[in-house]
Structure 1
Amino acid sequence: TRETGWRTCDIMDFMEEAVDLVVLYNVEELPKGVEQQIEVLARAAELTAEAMPNLRTMDNLTEYWIEVNRLENQADQIHRKLLAMLFNGKYEAIEVLKLKQIVDVLEEAADAFEHVANTVETIAVKES
């Protein structure tokens, strides 16, 4: 994983990278379970967008970072299940490499959402 200070634009970079990889690798069908990763990312994006206006007042942010943390834990579980499925012998080795890179990048996006939420939590705690 990338050990950097993530920003919300990094999240978009990860998601764009995943889409680019699907196109570049000419992946015709993503494994079952990737849609769950995408649903988690969509929910984290919604929560983050809803929470950002509250940074002005630092009100009502606790539920945001708790829920994003829960979503990231869910994303971890989905990621592990996807990896197990990829390595179960159903896919050719080259296909495993392609698909693993895609699901790994989507997991990095989930990690980045959690990092943003943790940053918001740190700011809110310092301001209180």
Structure 2
Amino acid sequence: MEVRFKKSENSESFFDLLATQAKLMVRGAELLARIPGENYETRVALRNELHDVEHACDEATHAVINKLNQTFVTPFDRDDIAYIAGRLDDCMDYMDEAGDLIVLYKVEDLPAGIYQQLNVIQRCCDLTAEAMPRLETLESMRDYWVEINRLENEGDKAYRHTLSQLFDSDMEPLQVIKLKDIIACLEKAVDSFESLANGVETIAIKES
């Protein structure tokens, strides 16, 4: 099913557009989590759908930037709004890249740590989708960035543990390289969620 960003949403508020980005990320995380458990043909179909979601997220990001360029008075510092939109886009880009790598590398058996990383990403997406609509009032936002930071630590542990297991295994070097690329990409996605949450915290401090 092709996912498109509705052009009419260009007239919506910054908060609506950022919330749209976050909702698309939730869908992207769902697709990414399904890819490892499927056969190659289904993986390709899911990857293609993930690409569609990523493209829709790109369009939403561009809509934010276009609106910034056309708006004289913004609800927050325009650099802060651009930063949030950019980090949301980064999160989606890394998820899309990870899904692509799993398909292109044709890896069959993924370490348990990768599934842990995927779980962390899904939880980060859900929290972000819940938090973005609250940017307008900045109410009850602290729990969001605190939990994202905790999840980032959890993701770091999964990344380091999985990396250690790979290097200690008797796996073929080429397979180790493939899996290392995938877990590194997932780690970048989790780090982007932390950067996003830190940006939200900065805005909250500025506006308090």
Q: TM-score, normalised by structure 1?
A: 0.94
Identity %: 52
Deviates more, 1:28-37 or 1:65-74: 28-37
**CA distance in structure 2 between the aligned counterparts of 1:89 and 1:27, rounded to whole angstroms:** 16
- TM-align CA RMSD: 1.0
Does residue 1:55 correspond to 2:147, yes or no? no
**CA distance in structure 1 between the aligned counterparts of 2:149 and 2:112, rounded to whole angstroms:** 24
The equivalent residue for 1:73 is 153
- Which has the greater radius of gyration? 2
Q: Shift of residue 28 of structure 1?
A: 1.3
The equivalent residue for 1:107 is 187
User: Which of the pair is proportionally richer in helix?
Assistant: 2
**CA distance in structure 2 between the aligned counterparts of 1:77 and 1:89, rounded to whole angstroms:** 18
- Cα deviations across residues 36-88 of structure 1 (Å, max 9, x unaligned)? 11111100110000000110001100000000000000100000000001101
Q: Shift of residue 7 of structure 1?
A: 1.3
The equivalent residue for 2:112 is 32
**CA distance in structure 2 between the aligned counterparts of 1:24 and 1:106, rounded to whole angstroms:** 15
| Deviation beyond 2 Å, 4+ runs, structure 1 | none
1:89 to 159, 162, 169: 169
Q: TM-score, normalised by structure 2?
A: 0.58
One-letter amino acid of the counterpart of residue 38, structure 1: L
Does residue 1:22 correspond to 2:22, yes or no? no
Unaligned runs of 5+ in 2: 1-82
More contact order relative to length (CA 8 Å, sep ≥ 6): 1
